[in-house]
Structure 1
Amino acid sequence: MTTEIRHIVYDIGHVLVHYDPHVPFSRIIPDPEKRARFFAEVCTNAWNHEQDRGRPWPEAEAEAIARHPEEADNIRAFRAHWEEMIPYSYEDSVALYQSLIASGRDVTLLTNFAADTFRVCRTRYPFLDEGRGITVSGEIGMVKPDREIFDRHAETFGLTPEATLFIDDKAVNVEGAKAAGWNAVRFTDAATLKADFASFGITV
């Protein structure tokens, strides 16, 4: 018999809020090939992941500039223009999230985010504070998909792992949650998520 889901945990980026560094950089580096190289070699996903883990931006910029001094201005532009990278939220997905909260469901958020940029996002999208609470990777020095951040979130909010459902857009994070004993689904769009909820006996 499947355990009833009593806790729902949301990721934020690409689930509730759109994130795309190309929004400002299509202007900062107009040439598509040069921009692709910049993200592949300079300000890479792995480089940004360390800010999610808690590395301060000045340290991150210094590290990248040491590798690519010719890109110094563009490297500094990443943080300077960061707010442009979160241009909108997904209205249908946010509506589902708010419906769950309104119906009395226990909803929390677990996100990989640098601490300071998350403060920007939180101010811009107040609905993020409508759940019971948020674990931000950059604030605690842990990142998804590592087991420890799932355990920390469960401990912080008193979640029973087998009664928890996690929603994330990245397959590796979905698998990380499952390894921690949670149920988890990969987010693609709100309609699919609503069907996923139904499969767990959650009506929205």
Structure 2
Amino acid sequence: MIQTDPKTAQPDAVVFDIGNVLIRWQPEEQYDQWIGPDRRRQMFGAVDLHAMNDRIDRGEGFRQVIDETAEANTDFRTEILMWHDRWLDLAQPAISLSVKTLHALKARNVPVFALSNFGRETFELAKTKFDFLSDFDRPYISGHMGVIKPDARIYEMVEADCGVTPDGLLFVDDRADNIAAAAQRGWRTHHFVSPEQWADHIIGLGLIEGSDL
């Protein structure tokens, strides 16, 4: 295991969440454009689509889960099927400055990992649109791991595989519960609010310089 002094040493690796850190993920906003806010509010109030997506992120079949949900909620069948058929329109656009931080870290030979709640099939689909998703040194994708954040098990699996001690990992995520779970294990964390704050944070740590971006 790589040993670090948390008081003085830089992180040994940076761990990126993907949704709302590298790629914008706001399904409600997309559905507002597709079917209008009123219909969208009715659908999201009647059907827990985020719980549906959690099933996909845990590794269940993309098409199977959405078809099953659509058939169980026939009043919104057509709209629910859009989650599958227009998925690449749900996950967009890339957050440009965050992507630049990923590439800047790699250019300085800082290992970069992904730790993301993402389905097996949806991650492969996303890689066809976003080339940078193939740039991670180690991608930890929940659909392949069978567990989602913030379950402690997913962080344990990362630690066991990557060979970096918890205090050597710097984890950036937009969700406070995911950050808290990592921090409980001794990971360094940054709660993502904006790409500018994130860039300033890693510049302040000396991992990159402003001129890298």
TM over 0.5: yes
Tell me which amino acid in the other structure corresponds to 1:152: M
State which drifts further: 90-99 or 16-25: 16-25
The match for 1:155 among 152, 157, 160 is 160
Q: Structure 1 residue 83: deviation in Å?
A: 0.8
Letter aligned with residue 12 of structure 1: I
Does the 8 A contact of 2:62 with 2:122 survive in 1?
no
Deviations 1:1-55 (A, max 9, x none): 625211110001110111232455234422x122022123314222211211112
Structure 1 residue 76, shift from structure 2 partner:
1.5
- Unaligned runs of at least 5 residues, structure 1: none
The separation in 2 between residues aligned to 1:128 and 1:158, in whole angstroms, is 22
Q: 2:15 aligns with which of 9, 12, 24?
A: 9
Counterpart position of 1:33 = 38
CA distance in 2, matches of 1:78, 1:62: 10
Counterpart of 1:10, as a letter, is F
Q: Separation in 1 of the partners of 2:67 and 2:130? A: 30
Please, what TM-score do these two structures have when normalized by structure 1? 0.90
* Structure 1 residue 160: Cα displacement: 1.2
The answer as to whether partners of 2:19 and 2:25 remain within 8 angstroms in 1 is: yes
Contact 2:174–2:193 (CA<8 Å) still a contact in 1? Answer: yes
Whole-Å separation in 1 of the counterparts to 2:134 and 2:8: 27
1:172 aligned onto 2:177:
yes
Q: Distance in 1 between matches of 2:198 and 2:16?
A: 11
Structure 2 residue 24 is matched with structure 1 residue 18: yes
Question: Distance between the aligned counterparts of 1:34 and 1:109, measured in 2?
Answer: 35
Calculate the aligned-residue CA RMSD, in Å.
1.9
User: How much has 1:180 moved relative to structure 2?
Assistant: 2.2
Structure 1 contact 51–57 (Cα < 8 Å) conserved? yes
Structure 2 residue runs of 5 or longer lacking an equivalent are 1-5
Shift, 1:92, TM fit = 1.1
Instruction: Quote the residue 1:119 is aligned against.
Output: 124
Does the aligned pair in 1 maintain the 2:52–2:66 contact within 8 Å?
Answer: no
TM-score, structure 2 as length reference = 0.86
Deviation at 1:110, TM superposition (A): 0.7
SS in 1 for 2:14: strand
Provide the secondary structure at the position in 2 that maps to 1:88.
strand
CA distance change for structure 1 residues 130 and 61 in 2, over 3 Å: closer, same or farther? closer
Instruction: Give the aligned partner of residue 3 of structure 2.
Output: none
Structure 2 contact 116–141 (Cα < 8 Å) conserved: yes
Report which stretch shifted further, 1-10 or 193-202: 193-202
Identity of aligned residues (%): 27
